[in-house]
Amino acid sequence: METYNESSFAQYNLPNTFVQDNHSRSTRGVLRGLHYQYPQWQGKLVRAVVGEIFDVAVDIRADSPSFGKWVGFYLNETNKQQLYIPPGFAHGFCVISEVADVVYKCTSLYKPSDDSAVRWDDPEINIDWPINNPEISKKDSSAPFLSDIRTL
């Protein structure tokens, strides 16, 4: 299975240079996000290689007509779909299966000082997560609301 092809991405004006690959393992009910890097924005090409996740991208570019809007897709080992999260978008996912291994390619290197987040349950964004009572990290549960980061 081909998971990335530089010329195919270039054909659709998508980035064709990735500088870091990450692998995350989580269990059913875990929700991660909504994460982003700022000021060094980071694009991500995300897929689930084991299990199933509901993957979400939220536009947090203050000057965008789709600011605060979200899209979500089920990614799993069977459908083999990927989601590209552009720079300027926050990213999160919840695990639907017993376990999920998520891999993602990044357009810029992770920089701890740029690590940022928006609240996963922000009512202004109003994501329709397909799980109840998710397991959330302390960092994610104390992330600011979208209204607190509008100046990006």
List of domains in the chain: 16-148 (2.60.120.10)
Query: pLDDT digits over 79-120, tens only?
Result: 999 999 999 999 999 999 999 999 999 999 999 999 999 999
Query: pLDDT digits over 14-38, tens only?
Result: 888 899 999 999 999 999 999 999 9
Percent share of the chain, pLDDT over 90: 85
Residues assigned a catalytic role: 35, 104
- What is the reported pLDDT for 14? 86
Question: Is 123 in contact with 99 (CB distance < 8 Å)?
Answer: no
- The mean predicted confidence, pLDDT, of the chain is 94
Q: Is the pLDDT of residue 151 over 80?
A: no
- What is the reported pLDDT for 9? 87
| Residue, of 151 and 17, whose pLDDT is higher | 17
- What is the reported pLDDT for 16? 81
Question: Residue 58's pLDDT band (boundaries 50, 70, 90)?
Answer: very high
- What is the reported pLDDT for 143? 96
C-alpha–C-alpha distance, residues 73 and 45, integer Å: 13
